[in-house]
Structure 1
Amino acid sequence: MRHLRKGLEKRFRPHIDMSDRANSSTKEEERAFLSRAVAALAVKQETRWSDREAASGLIDDFGDRGIDAVAVEERGEDRYHITLVQAKWSENGTAGFGERELRALFRGLDDLRALEFHRFNSRIEPHAAALETALDNPGTIKLVLALVTENDLHPNIKRELEEGIRSRSWIPGMIDYKVIDLRGLYQELLGDQGERQVELDVWLEGAGKETIPYEAFYGTVSVAEIAEWYQGDNRAHLFSRNIRDALDVSDVNPKIQGTLLSEPEHFWYFSNGITLLCESYDPKGKGEFRPGAGVGFRLKGASVVNGAQTVDAIARAVQKSPGTAGKGRVLVRIISLKACPEGFGDRVTTAANTQNPVQERDFKSRDQVQFDLRDDFIVSLGLNYVIRRGEPAPHEAAGCTMTEAALALAATHRSPEMVARAKRDSSTLWEDRHYRDLFGRRPSAARVWRVVQLLREVRAALYKLRVDLYGRVASAAGNADLLIAHAIFHTMDTGTLDDSSEAQEAAWGARLAEVPELTERALWWFVEIADTAFGEKSQYATTVRTADRVKVVQRRLLERLGSGDKAPDFSDYRVTEQTQGRAGRLANAVRVIVDAGRIAEGTVLEFRPVTGPDRRGLPNWLAADANRTRAVWRNNKTKPLVWEADGQPYAPSTLTRQMRGEAMGVHQQVQGTRYWHIPGEGSLADIAAELRAVDDLDAGEGGEE
């Protein structure tokens, strides 16, 4: 109820005219608004209109004749569909629909069919012309009861409603009705991310039945009929209970299609079949159930929990060749959950999928905590939280996945051991004990989204830094993301992390703006702390995956970030051209080498990509002309390299910049001495560093003498 109210306010407050209630009390105005919003939501479900369009159909006011909203659609040539909504809001989810409401609804219907528009309030006028056209032409009318309740219609009211519809229908199906209860309204509010109730018509041949302990049916269904299940809105919701969706994780799906297209008569024997769960069912057709005979059902709340790939492949095969594939048949089980204990459906889902390569995280996708988070994301933040594998991940600005959320929660967990675990093997986060540690306290959508944003900012900053880094420090930037996110998070003010108000959203945005600078500081401190603690030959990849080492680094990193001390200088590991500090000396590497006469004239040097982007962007370009990879050394302090690709002399940095520009479109000035190597001896920068080390040693020895 809380989410429904909040979602209705957010979605429809901008679109619903409440000027007629300007003099009403706040409580009365809110009640009227919520009732109208429910009606608009019902219109949206029936028509798939936008929120604004659905709200435009509202006629709720004094004199609405029992109809709160109308919608007219042209469905096919000269065929129309009219939607008439009566909505009931209830603060406690117990909206009723009795004889008075039923009489009012039929009265309004009769007035409209008689074109008695004058009996309605003025809000009907914008719709009168469309209603008249629709009522003058063949079409259908749907009476929609949008009731904020979990209760079914009373049997007497349902009987009167159906009798009233029959008496007013010229032909069967001309007028129909639909009840959208609290659950249906809520699912419609969630949109495509929610699990909308699916109704299916199923005909079983050779049907069998189980009654103890729970009711179930089984039999053969034609492939053509199953393909029809997968049409329209059903496509997005038919697998709502399935923990994997129709994943193409192997070559199974193409093989299923191949069987249907080449030997459909064998499909029944080759297929494992399909398992359907339904919340309830109604018999379809006359006569009692007879074992081995054909029987029809109308399933309500149907979901394929095993065989999603089969259904998907069937639909594709029938689309390609309906005549051939449609000859196939498949075994189907139908399990009714109406009399089953709570959670039985999820147990069936889990058991039915354990035979497939299902991951532990797939089973956690059925956890109520994940459903609640998904709903909270949609209602509180207007964002998507994708639970199941196989569903496309949302755009970064539109939300996140359950996997990303788990990683971010692990990164910001109170214990650094969780950081090491996540970095070592993130799949272990879905094990019960670790999963409970991350999600057991039911984190809010605001908290999850913000830690996801933080981890994204840290990773983006590290990626940007790594473009300019090489060697060990580049390795640190690629491995320390979770630990750095952990350290930054635990030095931030996170007391209002669960507050989704606009003020706190702005405050969090300001904190995120500081993350790039904090990330750079944290990276330099991480390198120094790890090197000091475990040696400069230690592997950062090992450090961040070892719980004991992570504890050491985390404690010292928090101290350093909290102190505000200036971070160490690791400019030596940057490839961009530096003119000051330690890196400034590297710019003079050519002079040092020429002065020392270290490289003989005519020595051939090789070009080697240095950074990650270089290794992705340069190889194909270099392979196109081997001369691009070589240059001949001459002892010239300004242009020591003669590039074999064009025979012209260059400074190492100038030539490297030109090459990166031609190959990658990147014209950044870099330390070219990092890129040009003497095989077996190292880069020009390495050779210059060795010469400087010798000079420093000589100077030191001279000072001692």
Structure 2
Amino acid sequence: MSEIHLRQIKSYLQKTFNGLIDLSDYQNKSETDRELIFLTRSLAAFTLMVLADISPQEASKSIIDGGQDNGIDSLYFDRREKIMYVLQSKWKQDSKGSVKTDEVMKFTRGFKDLVNARYDRFNSKFNNKTLDIEEALNDAGTRFEIILVYSGQTPLADEPKRELDDLLGEMNDSSDIVSMRVYNQANIYNIISQGASGNPINLDVCLFEWGQTKEPYQSYYGQVSAREVADWWTKHSPKLFSSNIRLFVKDSEVNEGIINTLKKEPEKFWYYNNGITALCSSIGKKPLGGSGRDTGIFECKDVKVVNGAQTVGSIARAYQNSPEQVEKARVLIRFISLENCPEEFATEITRFNNTQNRIDRREFVALDPDQERIKNELHLEGIIYTYKSGESIPDGEKGFDLNEATISRACKQNEVSFATRVKDKIGVLWEDIEKPPYKTLFNRSVNGSNLWKLVQILRVVENKLSEVQKQRDGREKLFATHSNRLILHLVYKALPENFFSISSDLTPVQIDDIQSMTSEFLGSIMSESSNLFPTSYPANIFRNVTKCQEIVEKILN
């Protein structure tokens, strides 16, 4: 059937992208060559159209394939979800084969050049996207999806797969910022025949320990294998979440917590996670499994996840890296049938499932009496300190909030690990107000005046780095952006301890000194990082405790 499938895929691509794919660099080529390059480029555009949920027109503009493309055929930055999609596509005319090792190696080298802002190694199509690329690279919250798509039916061989796995291992040394998808002919055909054509998502779901409600509306609930949930993501994202308020947010601290639980304590995942809510046009239990409640197979038609996109996406990410652990986990899920429901019921379910009973980690800080003590101390000095959500500082007033306080206290610690934590996931520091790391940062020994001085220094460092960012580009700009917490840590270390105990605003001379220190430390960090980690993505260097310790030791010695 592979030849038939290939013709159907080809037909779909021609109908969808005819007149949209730029072939101006192939004007003098043969018709056969023009068709081959059209199919290669439209395959990349189609994959983006599905994954990023964008129009064929927008997906077509993402193509950078051509001379000096450095192995990358398509680039697209989704600002809403903070995802940079990086694709390589290959069209195989005979329906067989896969992607060669040297092609994958070129792709991985190109990706490393991309994240290190080596723009001179790419073509003009790439450089026309420099503004989007810099926006992505300068945002520490950006995640990358590297995608290999080809029309052959042969699975990816061990050697090219190892090349991609090595890239993931190198890039994700401190946190998972890069994920990978590989699509071959079977995946493409499945998407076109079931997803892109507008057909509903129909699932046969195995529920463990299931139950049901019949009134006023039909629903079933129970436990589902996390492995099965990961499979839904692979086959049906993002369409599965078309009715959700938001798609999967890759840089969420909550999602990192979900992934850590799946990797470390998968058997407890059901107890810790709130689960998934999905709507269906209809639900029916199949005879398989009998009438017992231990296991049941349910036919769910036109499935849409309305709450739990973060859970589903996190399970899929964890499964990529730790499939054996995720296999052990189960997830709470409920399927609500819309048969015989009022017209507005689906909207109400979506709205209330996404707005009720949500508490962020920061909210628990409001329970700490030391926060109120610090606030009162600062109030006596005419400085406003806000630590509760919703509080604000009136215009023209001096003050700061919990976010700046946490960054300052973290970077002031002797251990570099605090500066890397606050760079990576600040919410982790607020996780439990009864024990470290929170208690290390906020306790009875912290006084308001000292904290205000730390925040003033933080602002001077940030302002100086903002100036530098405007003056530099490429890899130098990335360092000025992403090394800010480590620089602040070094500035605090360099200043005499009595500097922090004096209750006063910074003087112009002190500000000049701090600015000079900032510039010097930035230069030292760039130099040492380039020697120690020449190919590492700058944003990830400063999330990695070991790497930051090495840099600090080199600078201080």
Q: Which has the higher contact order (CA 8 A, sep 6+)?
A: 2
Normalised by the length of structure 2, the TM-score is 0.41
TM-score (norm 1): 0.33
Kindly name which structure, 1 or 2, has the bigger radius of gyration based on alpha carbons. Answer: 1
